Amino acid sequence: MLGDVPAITIASATGEFGLSQGVTVDEADMIFMPLAPRLLVVIGPANAARSISDDDVDAYNEMQVREALDFVLHRPGANFAASIAASRN
């Protein structure tokens, strides 16, 4: 999933994310951006490659949807319509 604001900032201490919640790049602990349906890049304190849980994937997808200004894209055949609508409200 990818929104029109693809790089999302996260402040781990407060749980806030994105510019809509006032988390600028210089205040962020992590910055994430999806690159492909199964690949997410995260800039943060640790260097590593790892798998994440389905719950983490859902949380990152929700952040993408909530930060999107005009549109959210997802791969064909994925049934994200209900979760996108719920996250946009």
Distance between CA atoms of 3 and 19, rounded to whole angstroms?
A: 14
Which tens digits make up the pLDDT trace of 30-79? 999 988 777 889 998 888 888 888 888 888 888 888 898 888 887 777 77
| Residue for token pair 């983490």 | 56
What is the value of pTM for the model shown?
0.75
State residue 77's pLDDT score. Answer: 73
State residue 6's pLDDT score. Answer: 87
pLDDT at 80 over 70: no
Distance between CA atoms of 75 and 73, rounded to whole angstroms?
A: 7
